[in-house]
A and B are shown apart, each in its own frame.
Chain A
Amino acid sequence: MKIDLEGENLKGSLVGLVIAIVEILHETLEHQALRRMEGKSLNDEQIERLGNSLLKLKETIEELKEEQGICEAVGSLRKQLDGLVDSSIWLKKEEV
């Protein structure tokens, strides 16, 4: 599977790709933070600080997407990246 980056609007497509990757990083960080919170390894102050940082990062990502007009492009890239991950998992299962 290949990821489509539009030839005519390479700059916009690259920004979209970067944002999509930052979004995934944000979700990964958030997932990790929730696990630590559920495991009670964070105190109240750390939870508040982490929550604020993650919220600000999320808001910044959304603002950037709006400014660049790439909400749909990022959504579509995320779907393609999900497909890439799904097919990699499938290939790995086939190997096993």
Chain B
Amino acid sequence: MSKGYYLYCIIDSVDDASLGPIGIEESSVITISNNNISAVVHPVESGVKIENSQESLKWVAAHQSVVEEAWKRYKTILPFAFGTIIRGDENKLRIWMERENDRLVKKMFNVRDKAEYGVQIFWCPSRCIEKVVNSKNDLMELKKKSEGESTGTAYMYKKRYEKALKDEMEHKATELFRVFFKQIKQCVSNITVEKIKRLEGDKQMLLNVSCLSDAEQVKKLGDLLEDIGQCEDHTVRFTGPWPPYSFVGI
């Protein structure tokens, strides 16, 4: 059996402390320091073996809760992905921290005094159809022909209208994404694009991003999102603050 340390995060202070039995399966979480940083860990006797999905969810939640506790306590942290284990004894952990020190300190500098926020913007395409059709002459013409021609021709124009409308709505969604993304990017330190999720019903996700912001930037971001949300065509979901999970890249 190989001994090791399950790593939750790295903090930018020197502190050999105990955070109590708050880890995965109530493991006692401690901090081990080296040079100017410390690792938030719990000792493990072997690799993490997940028996079932329910257990894995519990463990992921425990992992996140330790990261959040460390974040509250130490302010600047580098969260590590679920399941990160540094193999070997305490000395090996310190050697790893020493070797990675420059890289970790540089990353920590980038997230200092900042938090992660989630921004999702939604729209209901069906509510915008009329506006889109009225703004495009070719669409209006196709619509008119799909209603007024003889059966076979009307059917063909109806299909052309549906296809053109679908293309136009996709173009509009791309354009809205581009505009919102640019506006949000100007307010924050860093931004990453997350996967657009498919939703049931008419509501569609236009944009899903994670933003890294300090206190001043988050105020600007909040004001911008309030403006975007005031338009009846869009709804905004603004979440956070979170530890900077998406901006660590480890």
Contact = CB atoms under 8 A, between A and B. Distances in A.
A48 B153 contact: yes
B156 A37 contact: yes
List the 5 closest A-B pairs by CB distance, nearest first. Answer: A51-B152, A52-B152, A48-B152, A51-B156, A51-B155
Size class of the contact patch on chain B: 10 to 19
B159 interface: yes
A27 to B, nearest CB: 10
- Interface residues of A, dominant DSSP: helix
B145 to A, nearest CB: 11
A30 interface: yes
A52 B155 contact: yes
A50 interface: yes
Interface in A31-60: 33-34, 37-38, 44, 47-55
Contact of B160 (A34, A48, A53): A34
Interface of A: 30, 33-34, 37-38, 44, 47-55
B163 A34 contact: yes
B153 A51 contact: yes
Contacts of A38: 160
24 contacts: A30-B159, A34-B159, A34-B160, A34-B163, A37-B156, A44-B153, A47-B153, A48-B150, A48-B151, A48-B152, A49-B152, A50-B152, A50-B156, A51-B151, A51-B152, A51-B155, A51-B156, A52-B151, A52-B152, A52-B155, A53-B152, A54-B159, A55-B151, A55-B152
A37 B142 CA distance: 13
B224 interface: no
Interface string B4-18: 000000000000000
Given A51-B156, A54-B156, 13 more contacts: A34-B156, A34-B159, A38-B160, A47-B153, A48-B150, A48-B152, A49-B152, A51-B151, A51-B154, A51-B155, A52-B155, A54-B155, A55-B152
A30 B150 CA distance: 18
Nearest to A27: B159
With most chain B CB atoms within 10 A of its CB, the pick from A49, A51, A52 is A51
